[in-house]
Structure 1
Amino acid sequence: MSTAVAVPSNQSEWRIALESLPSTPQKIPAFFFAHGSPALARGQLPSRLSGRGSFDQYQGPNGPLANFLKDFGSALLQKYNPKAVVVFSAHWETLGERLVTDYGDENPLLMDYYGFPQETYQLKFKSRGDKQLAEQIVSLYKEAGQLARTTSKLEPRGSDGRGFEGPGLDHGVFVPFRLMFGEEFGLPVVQVSIDSNMSPEANWKLGQVVKVLREENVLVLSGGLPIHNLRDFSSFAPDTAQPIHHSFHEAILDALQVPDAQERKKALQALPKHPAFRACNPREEHFVPLYIAAGAAENESLKILNGLYGIPTVAFGV
C-alpha cells in the first residue's frame, strides 16, 4: 500500500526533509519554490495594498518563508554543488518563443515592482551569465521543435520600477536568491521565460526539455506562488485566508501526494479547474511554474520540502 508523502509544516520538519534529500550531483532534482515578493527584503508593502493582515509576519524578512529560503539555498549547495543554475520565474512570460538570458560577466537586475519603499530599489544580487549554457538551452528547445533564442543586456525585457525599460533577472529570481545564496553568488545563473499561454501541458513540456540538464550538474529551479491574489490580500497568510483559499492549498498537497506518476500528473494538471482556483489565482502565471519543475522530472518521485500554507516547495526527481 502506498503511503502519503510527508508534509513539513515547521522549521524542524523542513530541515529534516532538506537533510533527507539524496546527494545526487549526477542527477539533481528539479525544484518548484515559493519565490515571495520584495517584502522578503524589507517587510514593507506599498500603501496601495491594503488589508494585508499578517502578511509581513508570514512572508516578510523574519517570517517562515524567508527562514525556509535560507535553509533551502544552503541545502542545495551542500547536497549538489551545482556548476550553474537555470531558473524559471512567474514574472517572465513569452508567447510561442523561449527567451534565454545571455548577460555575460554580470547579470543585471530588473526591479519590476512599483510603489515599494526606496530601499527595495537598492537591493543587490551579483551573479554572472553563461553563454555556453544559454546556447545549449536554446538548442534543446529547438531540437524539441520550439522557437528559442538568447537575449542580451541590449534587449529590454520589461519595465523597471526605477523608471526605465531594461534587461535583467526579475524580482522572482533575485529577491529569493539573495536569501538562498547571499548577495554575491559565485555560480552562473541563466533565466528562461515561461509560456504565457498559461496551459499546464505547455509549461510541463518546458520542463521536459531541460530535464537533461539535471544530469549535467545543473540546478533547475522554477519559482512562483500558488496562491497569489492581489485583489484579496487576505489570501496570502494562513490566519487571514478564507476557507476557500485553504481548500485550494489542501488540493495542491493532495495532488502532489498521488502515488502513481501518471495519475499525479492528471491531478496536478486538473488544479486550474478546481472551484477555488480563481479565488487564489485571478491569473495563472504564479501557478504554472509548478508544471515546469514537474515536467523536468516526469515519472519520478517527489518530496514536499515545505508544506506551509501558500508557500510550498517541492523536489521533483528524488
Structure 2
Amino acid sequence: MANVVAVPSNQSEWRTALDSLPSTPQKIPAFFFAHGSPALALAQMPARLRASGRSGFEQYQGPNGPLANFLRDFGPTLLQKYNPKAVVVFSAHWETLGERLVTDYGDENPLLMDYYGFPQESYELRFKSRGDKQLADQIVSLYKEAGQLARTTSKLEPRGSDGRGFEGPGLDHGVFVPFRIMFGEEFAIPVVQVSLDSSMSPEANWKLGQVVKGLREENVLVLAGGLPIHNLRDFSSFTPDTAQPIHLAFHKAILDALLIPNAQERKQALMDLTKHPGFRPCNPREEHFVPLYVAAGAAEDENVKILNELYGIPTVAFGV
C-alpha cells in the first residue's frame, strides 16, 4: 500500500497531482471534493464566530485558506482536462428519503442560501448557471431503470429554507459557494443537482454513484461534495492545529482506505470507516461523509488518485 506521506499536502504538490490527471474527455473521472462553508466566500468571518475562538477555522477554511486556494486550482483543471458538456453534482446539503430528486431549473439555476446568521454579503453572492432538461430526464430514467423512485423538481417547488426568509428551490451552498471559486460567477456549462439518500447508508449512496457511472462516458462531470470531518459541536475538529488525536486518526484512516490498490479491498475499507472509533467524533451525522461513497460508486472498480490530503478537506479522483 502506498505511503500516506506520498500524497499531495501543499500547493506545489497538489498542482503536480492535478497536472498529472489523465486528459480523458471520453471517460471523465468522478470526484469527491471538500465543498467548505459560506465562510469561503466572506471577506471575514462573522464577529460572533471570531469571538468564539474560531479564528483557526477562518484561516483554514476561509477565503484565503488552503481549501479556497485548492478550489481555485481544481476548477480550471477540470475544464481544461475534460471540457465537460455538463456537471452533475451531489451535495451534503440535499438529501431525500426514498426518492431521488433531480433539478430541472431551466435557463437559470436559482440559489438556495441555506444558512443563517451570516453577514449580508453572504446573501448577495452570485453564481449564474443553467440547467439541462434532457440530462435531468436522462438521470431520472437511469434511477428508475435501477429500481429507484426518481423525478425532476422545478423552480416552482421549494426544497428547503433560505436564510433570506422564505422556502425556496435552488442549488445549495454546498454547490454554489465552491463552484463560484472553481468556475467563476458565471458558468456556461449546465449544472444539474441530484439529492443524496437520507438513509445515510454507505451502500445506498454508493449505489447512487453506480447509477450515473455511465454519464462519465458521455462527457459529463460527476462531482460529490462534502466534508469528511464535520462536527459543528466541536470546532477544534475542523483544523489540524486544534484537532484531537481521534480526529487525526480518522483522517489518516480515510487516506489509508483510499490508497488500497485492490478495488474490492478498498471498497470494504471505505465501508468500514463508519465503524472507526473516530467516525462519530468527526461526524455526529453522516450527511457530509456519504458523498464520498457516491463518488466512489461512480468508478468503483477503477483506480483512485488523492489530489490533496489536507486534513479534513481532501479531494479524490475516482476512475483514473
| 1:13 CA displacement | 0.2
Q: Determine if contact 2:92/2:196 at 8 Å carries over to the other structure.
A: yes
Amino acid at match of 1:169: L
C-alpha spacing 1:74/1:233, structure 2 compared with 1 (3 Å): same
Q: Distance in 1 between matches of 2:149 and 2:53?
A: 42
Q: Distance in 1 between matches of 2:62 and 2:85?
A: 30
Matching of residue 47 in structure 1 with residue 44 in structure 2: no
C-alpha spacing 1:38/1:310, structure 2 compared with 1 (3 Å): same
Partner of 1:9: 9
CA-based RMSD of the aligned residues comes to: 1.1
Partner of 2:22: 22
Matching of residue 113 in structure 1 with residue 101 in structure 2: no
Q: Which runs of 5+ in 1 are unaligned?
A: none
Q: Determine if contact 2:229/2:238 at 8 Å carries over to the other structure.
A: yes
Partner of 2:204: 202
Q: Determine if contact 1:73/1:181 at 8 Å carries over to the other structure.
A: yes
Partner of 1:158: 160
| 1:44 CA displacement | 1.1
Q: How does 1:1-318 map to 2 (within 5 A)?
A: 3-4=2-3, 6-42=6-42, 43-45=44-46, 47=48, 50-318=52-320
Amino acid at match of 2:64: N
Q: Determine if contact 2:2/2:260 at 8 Å carries over to the other structure.
A: no
The residue matched to 1:192 in structure 2 has which SS?
A: strand
| 1:53 CA displacement | 4.0
| 1:46 CA displacement | 6.6
Q: Distance in 2 between matches of 1:46 and 1:257?
A: 40
1:42-66 deviation line (CA, Å, top 9, x unaligned): 1414726833141111100000000
Q: Distance in 1 between matches of 2:310 and 2:286?
A: 20
Q: Distance in 1 between matches of 2:99 and 2:260?
A: 32
| 1:240 CA displacement | 1.1
C-alpha spacing 1:46/1:161, structure 2 compared with 1 (3 Å): farther
Amino acid at match of 1:128: R
- Using structure 1 for the length normalisation, give the TM-score: 0.98
The residue matched to 2:212 in structure 1 has which SS?
A: helix
Aligned sequence identity (%): 85
Q: Distance in 2 between matches of 1:241 and 1:302?
A: 26
The residue matched to 1:54 in structure 2 has which SS?
A: helix
Q: Distance in 1 between matches of 2:67 and 2:249?
A: 20
Which deviates further from its counterpart, 283-292 or 53-62?
Answer: 53-62
The residue matched to 1:33 in structure 2 has which SS?
A: strand
Q: Distance in 2 between matches of 1:51 and 1:273?
A: 31
Amino acid at match of 1:163: G
| 1:3 CA displacement | 3.9
The residue matched to 1:127 in structure 2 has which SS?
A: coil
- Using structure 2 for the length normalisation, give the TM-score: 0.97
| 1:4 CA displacement | 4.4
| 1:7 CA displacement | 1.2
Q: Determine if contact 1:46/1:117 at 8 Å carries over to the other structure.
A: no
Q: Determine if contact 1:46/1:115 at 8 Å carries over to the other structure.
A: no
The residue matched to 2:206 in structure 1 has which SS?
A: helix
The residue matched to 1:284 in structure 2 has which SS?
A: coil
How many residues align? The count is 317
